[in-house]
Structures are given as structure tokens and as C-alpha cells.
């Protein structure tokens, strides 16, 4: 009798994510997205929407982490993405974050999309789409607008279900 072979998509693989089908586009960003999910958890105590962001340097090193702090600080611009980009710029001493990647649990809004375009990040990776305010493909596609001089690569859906569950739980419990 031959050993059982996991069948892709049947949940027969090992570990907490039983689907063994590799995704070469999204798999490289899973660990960073888990860091962003952990960061998003820190937003809850202040009543902020649980969005977390991580900026990775060109070598994959974590340059900055942040979560939403609008309620905590009373600052309407204190979105996770903007705070992470500011902290990454401070860490590098450069406003141009060339070669860097912004990883965020929720698709960036127009403000955050503008900030990441202006910071010249190489790519934005997000988990859950935002059909009400997303500006990286859902409602608008500001980051890939051909009229702009910088258009980062967009990778969507990394741990998307986990990211969406975190947000859904927050709003359900309110």
C-alpha cells in the first residue's frame, strides 16, 4: 500500500495551514504579514481599528512596524501605513524608501496609497481588500495610476482571510 499523498485544496496537508499548494507570489510575504497581524492586535486596547503595517528593507530586514493610532493619539493621519513609513524613513535617514516593501493587513486608503507612492516603496503587500475605501485595486487604483511617476508593485491577498477575520471580529464586537 502506497503512503497517502496530500491532495491540494483538501486540507490533508500538515500543520495549521493544511493546504500544501505553494503560492510563489504570496508565500514570501507570509511571515511579514504575520508580524503585521501581531502589530494590528496592539491597536485594540485604544479602540483603534486593528490594522498593522511592517516596512521591510531591500534585504528583507524589518525597518519599522506600526498599527493604527488615530483613537490613541487623536491624529486623523495616524494610519498604520503612514506611521510605519515615517518610522522607516527615520530609521534609514531617507524619505525615499527605494527597494522597500510595505506589508499591511488591510488595503491602503487613498491617503496611505498617496504616502506609499510618495515614499517610493518598491511594492505594497496587503491582506484583506477594502471595498469601501481601498486605493490599491478595490475601489480605486491610485498606486498603479499611469499618470504618476512612481507605481509600486501590488501583491494582494496575503493571509487575506486571517486579516479579514481580525477586522470582522473587531467590528462585530463593537
Residues forming the active site: 81
Is the separation of the CB atoms in 110 and 140 below 8 Å? yes
Q: Long-range pairs for 63-66 at CB < 8 Å and ≥24 separation?
A: 63/87, 63/88, 63/91, 63/92, 63/100, 64/88, 64/90, 64/91, 65/35, 65/36, 65/39, 66/39
Amino acid at each position: 500500500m502506497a503512503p497517502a499523498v496530500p491532495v491540494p485544496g483538501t486540507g490533508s496537508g500538515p500543520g495549521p495551514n493544511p493546504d500544501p499548494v505553494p503560492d510563489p507570489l504570496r508565500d514570501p510575504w507570509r511571515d511579514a504579514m504575520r508580524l503585521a497581524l501581531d502589530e494590528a492586535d496592539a491597536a485594540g486596547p485604544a479602540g483603534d481599528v486593528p490594522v498593522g503595517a511592517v516596512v521591510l528593507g531591500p534585504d528583507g530586514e524589518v525597518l519599522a512596524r506600526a498599527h493604527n493610532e488615530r483613537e490613541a493619539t487623536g491624529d486623523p493621519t495616524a494610519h498604520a501605513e503612514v506611521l510605519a513609513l515615517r518610522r522607516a524613513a527615520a530609521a534609514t535617514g531617507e524619505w525615499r524608501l527605494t527597494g522597500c516593501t510595505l506589508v499591511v493587513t488591510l488595503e491602503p486608503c487613498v491617503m496611505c496609497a498617496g504616502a506609499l507612492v510618495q515614499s517610493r516603496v518598491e511594492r505594497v503587500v496587503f491582506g484583506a481588500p477594502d471595498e469601501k475605501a481601498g486605493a490599491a485595486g478595490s475601489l480605486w487604483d491610485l498606486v498603479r495610476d499611469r499618470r504618476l511617476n512612481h507605481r509600486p508593485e501590488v501583491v494582494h491577498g496575503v493571509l487575506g482571510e486571517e486579516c479579514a477575520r481580525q477586522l470582522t471580529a473587531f467590528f462585530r464586537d463593537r
